Structures are given as C-alpha cells and as structure tokens.
C-alpha cells in the first residue's frame, strides 16, 4: 500500500473532537486550547524487541503505544485531548496497520483523544506518539513536590507486566492475565485528574517502583520508606511467583504504568475517595521522610534489597 493510501486509511478512522480546527491532511494540525488552561505535552517511543516482545499482536502494540503516553498525562493530573503518531514500518502492510489502529483507537475513544496528525516512514518497526492535554494553571502533579511526612501510594497492582516478561523468557507457563498487563496497560487517567487537587507529587511507574520513586525523592529533596510486603498484589502474580522473586518483580519490575503519588496523611479519606471516583484501587505503601534515597523493608521490619535495581530492556 502506498504511503498516501495508508495515511488516508488512518485519516478515515481517526475521528475528531470539535476543538480540532484542522486534523490529518494538511501540513500541520490546528487546535483550540481552552482559555485559561495550561497545555501539557508528552512523548514516548516503542521499539520492536525493546519495548514489546516480537510476537506482540499489532492491536496490542497500538494499544500500548497510546496507553503509555496517556499514562504520562495521567501522572501530571492532565485531561487528555489530542495525539500525533509517527510510524516507522518495514513495509506498508495494511492488515498490520488496521490491527494497530484497532488497539490504538480503542484507547483513543475511551479517553476522548483525537489523532490529529503524524508521520509515516519506512524503517525498523518503531512507534512514537505525542499526547496533549490540559491542566488548570499550577495544578500539574510534579515529581518535585513530595513533602516529608507524606504518605506514598500506588494505584492498581505491581509486577504483573514484568512477571509476564519473565514468563515469556522462561518459556514455561505463560499466564494470560499477566501477559494482558504487559500488552495492554491501563493508563490511570481518571485517577490522575482526581488527584490533581489532593496529591503532592506523582509519577507513573515505567521503570519499576523503586527507580521511579527515587526520581520523586531526588526531585523533591526527600527520602522514602517503603514496605515491600504491602505492595498491591494481583492473584495471578501471587500464584505464579513468590518470595524475593515476586518482591523484586513488584518493587523493581517495570512496565506497570500505575501511578505512584504522595499526599498528606490528613488527606487519606480524599485519596480513597479519588480512587473510588476513578474506580481504581489505591494502596498506601510507605511514607516520605527527611533525607534521601528509597529504603525498603519487609513486614517484619528487616531491610530488604531488590535482586536487581530496575527494569532492564530485554532484547
Ligand atoms: P508532509 O510531507 O507535509 O509532512 P505527510 O505526507 O507527512 O505531509 O503527512 C500528510 C498528512 O498526514 C499530515 O497532516 C500528517 O499529519 C498526516 N499523517 C502522516 N502520517 C500519519 C500517521 N502515521 N498518523 C496520523 N497522521 C499522519
Ligand atoms: Mg511529514
């Protein structure tokens, strides 16, 4: 399929919000930013064999390409609006592009995001997406805003995606729930917005809880204490791994796309209400302290160290 036909295929399926003055088809898109709001922009790239296993279905790649970007907007507390898509494809394969769009546009529709432009080139399979969203002025959830005394919270469950990757490498039992968490992460968009007036600092977990919480600590000039046995655990992960292997997947595995955030202890009720409103479980896992670095301990109070420090790309 020639490049033009491929872009036309994308254009026909993209749809548009009414704040899109000009979408796919011109040299650039023209968009209406709501008066009095701040524009929030993020970009993430997925490379074959690095960010997803080679056997990943096109629809799952499409899903994940947008979901990981929306996760960045969620971590800022932003309301998503638009995205652009840069596709590098080895060949213009219409079945692959249709499958990719099935996943990508499912996520786009679920979050009322319009695809307003992009670029299409020939090369090794690689997908870059930018997302654009809005926050009220000064309300973005930043990494540098944690305060000593805050609680540390996470959404959802941790370690599922990393466990799927471990199973994929191991070649033994491969659990479908865990693989779904790797291929189709859930961007916590509603929770991020609900937390915008409640949380202090927020980050989404892409490289592993401990690595990403360390970014918050460095940015905020504080330390953190985390109870590794209180990390939220999915039944499928409980069944598949235990002991330090499981703890390491949860604390350092990566690809979770859950939110890790801090909030004042007197706002526990508000945090729980935000979780309920967003239909997203939230779990308190530790606290922010004066000092630096992230310390982890088991339920019996023993210091604990992960088997490795953070997510390592597998290819
Ligand atoms: P130009 O050469 O002016 O950059 P292109 O041929 O690259 O134009 O793109 C034509 C139009 O199609 C532009 O509006 C561009 O944003 C859009 N477009 C190209 N590739 C994609 C894509 N993968 N997804 C969405 N829109 C795309
Ligand atoms: Mg171009």
User: pLDDT tens digits, residue range 265-299?
Assistant: 999 999 999 999 999 999 999 999 999 999 999 99
Asked whether 22 lines ligand 1 (CB < 6 A), one says: no
Tell me the C-alpha distance between 33 and 36, whole Å: 9
Report for 48-52, 172-176, 216-220: range of highest mean pLDDT: 216-220
- The angle formed by the CA atoms of residues 140, 223 and 41, to the nearest 5 degrees, is 20
Residue 259's closest CA among 275, 239, 270? 275
Ligand 1: centre distance to CA 130 (Å): 14
Question: Hey, which of 13, 83, 120 would you mutate to test ligand 1's pocket, going by the most ligand atoms within 8 Å of its Cβ?
Answer: 120
Q: What is the pLDDT of residue 313?
A: 46
pTM assigned to the model: 0.95
Ligand 1: centre distance to CA 26 (Å): 8
Residue with token string 């969620």: 74
- The angle formed by the CA atoms of residues 74, 209 and 285, to the nearest 5 degrees, is 90
| Residue with CA at minimum distance from ligand 1 atom 20 | 119
Mean pLDDT (the chain, rounded): 94
Residue 257's closest CA among 50, 40, 64, 49? 64
Flag whether 159 is marked binding: no
| Residue with CA at minimum distance from ligand 1 atom 1 | 27
DSSP-assigned beta bridge partners for residue 42:
131
Ligand 2: centre distance to CA 60 (Å): 25
Flag whether 143 is marked binding: yes
What's the rounded mean pLDDT across residues 108-119?
97
Tell me the C-alpha distance between 81 and 73, whole Å: 10
Could you read off the pLDDT of 121-140 as tens digits, one per residue?
Answer: 999 999 999 999 999 999 99
Q: What is the pLDDT of residue 2?
A: 67
Residue with token string 């490049």: 3
Tell me the C-alpha distance between 73 and 80, whole Å: 7
Flag whether 204 is marked binding: yes
DSSP output for 145-213: ---TT-EEEEES-SSHHHHHHHHHHH-S---HHHHHHHHS----HHHHHHHTTT-SBEEE-SS-HHHHH
Asked whether 65 lines ligand 1 (CB < 6 A), one says: no
């Amino acid at each position: 399929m020639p490049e033009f036909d491929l872009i036309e295929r994308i254009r026909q399926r993209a749809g548009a919000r009414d704040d899109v003055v000009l979408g796919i088809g011109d040299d650039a898109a023209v968009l209406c930013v709501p008066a009095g709001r701040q524009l929030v922009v993020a970009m993430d790239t997925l490379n074959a064999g690095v960010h997803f296993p080679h056997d990943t279905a096109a629809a799952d790649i499409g899903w994940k390409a947008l979901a990981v970007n929306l996760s960045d907007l969620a971590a800022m507390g932003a309301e998503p609006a638009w995205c652009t898509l840069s596709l590098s494809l080895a060949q213009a394969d219409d079945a692959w592009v249709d499958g990719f769009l099935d996943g990508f546009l499912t996520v786009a529709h679920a979050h009322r995001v319009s695809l307003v432009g992009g670029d299409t080139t020939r090369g090794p399979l690689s997908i870059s997406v930018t997302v654009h969203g809005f926050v009220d002025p000064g309300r973005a959830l930043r990494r540098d805003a944690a305060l000593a005394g805050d609680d540390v919270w996470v959404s959802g469950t941790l370690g599922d995606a990393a466990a799927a990757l471990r199973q994929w490498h191991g070649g033994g039992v491969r659990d479908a729930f865990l693989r779904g968490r790797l291929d189709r992460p859930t961007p916590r968009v509603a929770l991020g917005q609900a937390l915008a007036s409640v949380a202090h600092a927020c980050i989404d977990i892409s490289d592993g809880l401990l690595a990403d919480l360390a970014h918050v600590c460095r940015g905020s000039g504080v330390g953190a204490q985390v109870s590794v046995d209180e990390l939220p655990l999915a039944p499928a992960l409980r069944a598949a791994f235990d002991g330090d292997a499981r703890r390491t997947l949860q604390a350092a595995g990566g690809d979770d796309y859950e939110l890790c955030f801090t909030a004042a202890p007197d706002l526990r009720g508000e945090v729980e209400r935000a979780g309920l409103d967003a239909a997203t479980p939230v779990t308190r896992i530790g606290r922010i302290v004066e000092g630096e670095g992230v310390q982890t301990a088991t339920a019996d109070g023993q210091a604990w160290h992960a088997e490795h420090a953070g997510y390592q790309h597998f290819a």
